[in-house]
Amino acid sequence: MKSTMIIGAVVVAALGVTAVGAAAKEGGKMRHHRGHMLNFEQLDTNADGFVTPEELAAQAQARFDAMDADKDGGLTLEELKAHAEANGKDRMVKGAERMFSRKDANGDGTLSPEEMMPSTERQAKMLGKFDTDGDGKISIAEYEAVTADRQSKRAAHKAEMFKKLDTNGDGTISQEEWDAAKEARGSKVRGADAQSN
C-alpha cells in the first residue's frame, strides 16, 4: 500500500536523516552527511511516550514545506539551494544540482514529496531498526536503545583507536607512538594513491 511506503519514508526523513542528507550519502562520493538528530521529545509531539508514523509524517511534511518557499508543493533546484544556503550547508549547496537530477525521477524539474523520499529498502531498514517490537510505533525505550547502541559503538571505536595508537600499552600516547601512527598512515595513503593511479 502506498501509504505504508510514505510512512516508512517519513520515518527515515524525520529520524535525523534528512531527505537531502540521505541523498548526499547515496551519492557515494560524498562522506556521510547526516542531518542532525531530533530528540525524542521533539518527535513525540503529543508527548504520550510514543513516536507514531503520523507524528513523523507531520514533521517530514513540515520540513518539506520549509524548503518549498513558494508553497506550490514541489521543490525546485533554486528552492533547494536557497534552503541549504540559509542553513549554512555548503556541501549541500555544491551537491545540490547532482542530487536534484538524481532525485527528479520524472524529470519535470521539480521534486515532489514522493521523489524526495529515500528508497523502500532504506525506509524498511530504518523503521525496523527503531521499532524493535514491530508494533508500528517507536517507544522511548526503543529510541534510547538505538541511540545508546550507536553511542557505545562510537565509544568502542574510539577505545580501539586508542589501543592501536598506544602500542606499548601504558595508557598514554607518547609523541613517538603518535609519530609512528602518523607515519604508518601516511604510507598507507601513499600506497592507496599509487594503486588508484
Write out the residues near Ca ion by the rule CB under 5 A.
Answer: 44, 46, 48, 50, 68, 70, 72, 74, 104, 106, 108, 110, 131, 133, 135
Comparing CB distances to Ca ion, the nearer of 48 and 176 is 48
Give the CA distances from residue 5 to residues 2, 108, 131, 161, 194, in Å, rounded to whole numbers and listed in that order: 5, 22, 15, 40, 45
Residue 4 or 173: the one with the smaller Cβ distance to Ca ion is 4
Q: Compare residues 16 and 166 and give the one whose CB is closer to Ca ion.
A: 16
Q: Strands 50-51 and 138-139: what pairing?
A: antiparallel
- Report the nearest approach of Ca ion to the CB of residue 6 (Å): 16
Half-sphere exposure of 46 (CA within 13 A, CB side): 9
CB 20 to Ca ion: min, Å: 15
The answer to whether the beta carbons of residues 122 and 22 sit under 8 Å apart is yes
Q: Give whichever of 144 and 160 is closer to Ca ion, judged by the CB atom.
A: 144
DSSP, collapsed to helix, strand or coil, labels residue 64 as helix
Cell of 24: 548526499
- Give me the least distance between CB of 130 and Ca ion, in Å please: 8
In whole angstroms, the minimum distance from the beta carbon of 114 to Ca ion comes to 9
